[in-house]
Structure formats: C-alpha cells, structure tokens
Structure 1
Amino acid sequence: MKKIITTISISMLVLMLAACNSSNKKSTEDDIPKMLEVVLEVPHTADVKEEIPLKATVTQGDEKVSDADEVVFEVWEDGKKDDSEMIDAVNNNDGTYEAKKAFDHDGIFTVQVHVTARGIHTMPKEAVTVGKGATEEHAHDDHGDHEHGDDKDHGHHSEDFSMHFIKPDSIEKGKETEFVVHLQDHNEPLEKARVRYEIWNDDISDKHDWVDASETTAGEYLGKHTFSDAGIYTIKIHVQNDEGLHEHKDYELEVK
C-alpha cells in the first residue's frame, strides 16, 4: 500500500512539473512581441500634377495598429535623396495611415513610409514613375549626385540605404539629449554598423564633438550628448560597415 501511495505521489509531481514547464514556455512565447507589418500602397505610375494617394496599413499579428507613434511618408527623386520631402500621415484610426502627393515634373520617385509603433520601427518603400519617367538630362544629373561635397571619403553609397533620424522635440542646454536614428538597407534593418554623430556650431567654436552611437535594437542606434550653449547646431550622422558602406547626412538642431 505504501509503495502504491509513493508511486501515485511521484506521478502527480511529474505531471505538476510538466504542466508548470508547459505554462512557463507558453508565457515566454506570449512575451515575445509579434513583428510589426507595414504594407505600403502607392500607384506605380502617375501623371505630372496628378494627386496620388499614399497609404500604409500597419498590423501586429492579427491586430490592426491604430496607435502608431509616428507615420511619415518620405518622397524623393532618384539620385536626390538629400532633397527629400517629409509628409505627415493622417491616422484613420483603423490601422491605416494616408497622405497625398502631386509631382510637378517627369521622373522616377521613391516613396518610403517611416513607421514607429510599440517600440518597433520599419520603413518599406516603393517606386513611382511620373509622366515619361527619368529624362536623359535628369538621368545625367542623378549620376552626378553621387559625387557630392565631402563624399570623397572611401566607401560606397547604396540606393537601397535609408536613414531616419528622430529629431528631439526640444533640446535644452545643460541637459543630456538622446539621439536616435533608424537605418535600413535593402528593406532590412542595417545591423552592426558603426554610427557616429558629429556635432558643431561654427558661431560658438571650431571644435566638433563626436558621439559614438550604440545599437539598441536591430537597425536602431542611440547616442547621447549634452550641449553647454544655446544656438543652432549641425549634426552629421556618419554610417559605415564592414561591407564598405559609407553614408552621412546633415540635420539642423536648435538648442535653447
């Protein structure tokens, strides 16, 4: 009788441990956030001066994401990324975000949507051919755009590279400010890049401050800096990796 009781007790203990492990495993799986999915819808062709719809549908698993922190459409002509236009999206509160855009001349343009929601950032893009597309003159100009300014550094530039700098709403002197940039290459987060923020104000000093950024999540890089003086500063974001990529872009900051 004692043996039977012991056997039953051991069996119950094994079943309880198995149930506990199963529960812990399920809990762990539930804790892993689902991927953020963004479907960008834009017409592949458009007439000059025709207003076209830009639409992004944001979901996470089976849920429609209607509470995105930021949805912005970025539009630029091929070879002229530095002259891109940012268009804020209208939230339809049903997981879709929309805007409109008209183009004033022929060309090939890229529309990229930057979506930040629930701690995740993604930025898919699509091409739009306007009118007759790229003219011979524009094609020549676009080719020349790759040799601009101080791009004489060693390394190459990628047409599939994207940079989205989240400019702080306000910056106060004497207070530490966080800078976050999201990087993407070939529609995937650019991981393990070397990212540095170069910061200066020629009216205050000839000195340029350098801030090394660390990768906090895939494709997201964080750096911190404290400004000692108020004024208008330039921040240049430098991006390099072991594959020879070298990109950089300037932004203007106001410190109060």
Structure 2
Amino acid sequence: MAVLGPNGAGKSTTIRNIMGIMYPDEGTVKFRDYPAGEIPRHTIGYLPEERGLYKNVKVMDMILYLAELKDYPLKRARERALQYLEKFGLQGKEKVPVEELSKGMGQKVQFIGSIIHEPDLLILDEPFSGLDPVSQEVFKQEIKEQARNGTAILLSSHQMNMVEEVCDRLFMIHRGRKVIYGPIEDVKNQYANFKCTIRGHNEPARLGRIPDVQRVETNGDVSVLYLTRDVHIPGWIKHLPEELHIQELSIDRVSLHEIFIDIATDNHTLSSSGEGGGVGA
C-alpha cells in the first residue's frame, strides 16, 4: 500500500505512530492479531528516508548487527545476507566499510538490513531514492516478492510511476486527513478520465469544440485534451476533424502523478464520480 501526500501532510507522523516512536493523541494502531498499539518491534522492518548506517562498519557486520537487534538467528541472517548481496550485485563487498560504498550501494545495504529478519510489516520510506534504473528494477521485483510471501508493506514515495508499478492500494493524506483510500485501479477509475495528447499546431478553441472535451491545455505545439467520463474512445476518435495537424497522438488515462498534484494543490480540476473527494474518503 502506498502512503502518499505532500510535504507536511502527516506521512512521517503516521509511520512514527505505527512504529511506536510516538503515540497518537486519539485512535489506536492495530496490526493483525497483536493487541492495539503493541506491534512487536522485531516484526517490523523499516527503511528510513534518512539513511542511518555506521560508516566505519563493514557491510556484513552492519547487516548482522541489524539482524541481532531484531533477535534474528545470526547463522540464518548470514546466509540470507550473502544471498541478498549477490542478488543486489554486492557480492565481494562483505568486508568493505560502509563509507566506501556509493550512495546507491549504501541504499541496497540498508534495504537488506530492513528485510534480513523476515518482517511481518515492512515500511519503506522513499526506497528508490539514489538508485539507477537497473537497481530500481531489482528493488521493485524484491518488494513484489516480499508481498507475495505475505509481508504487509507500506511504501511512501514521491515517484508516482514507481507507486503505480509496485502498489496494489493507495492511501493519500492531505493536511493530516485521509483524502483517498482504496485499490489503485479503483482510484484510477474514479479520478482518471482519459486524455488525448496531440503534438501539432492547432488552435485551442478548435480543439475545445470537439465532442466530449472538458478542457484543453496547451504548451507550444502540444495540446492535452481532457475528456468526459465514460467517453467511448473508438467512437470519439471518429469525431476528430480531418484537418487537424497531428504529428503525434496518444490516448491514456490521467496519471497518478496528475491526481496527486490536483489534490495537493487544491485545484480539483479532475472529476470524481464519488462525493467527498476520494475512494473511501
């Protein structure tokens, strides 16, 4: 599940409440069958946005230390660490001090430290930060693998494309309040009407007269036509004037990034089929 929201929305406060770093003024934190507010620390894996590895400690010692803090068997931790180091392209780095690693390598080590003890709940705060595209793909696959194995995962990220690729559900906070909650597909269906992007020199007024066009945004020779809900795309295409200047044309749904911006800036330009501004709001 993705936990999203603009800076100051309450994401970090929510995470701290879940982890028991701070406690809510009202309400309770409940996870599976554990008593309210008493999630055992050893069942939680956490990758913080601000990295926290000891720079003068060797990679393997760092991972084993994090495992020991969770009361995880060290023999098993060493076996798993070697497997993950190989999976993340860090084989042979076991005795290298953390301070000699690149930012991306350090990110991989800290990620391994967050999953080394096989947590029931995994909290990932900006896990893709500082990673190259190849490493991002490895992280995505491992996160999906963790989920398939039964780990509950909360992922906070500002990289909306990653959220769409990895997450099943979405929880968006704005000014400390829930504004969207539900499966990503439901959110997309509710908020994400189709849009048509046309590259070519065309008058916005002319584009606005095309049936089922709610509004038109132009930037140079690129025009984006936001379409009405439930528009029938094959039929709509037939209404495009033959004299339109089209170098490129694409039709897709409004992205999660655009939904986020619309809510975070209080624009409310994207239509919603529900009342109250969101799925489950």
TM range (shorter): under 0.3
* TM-score (normalised: structure 2): 0.25
- Bigger strand fraction: 1
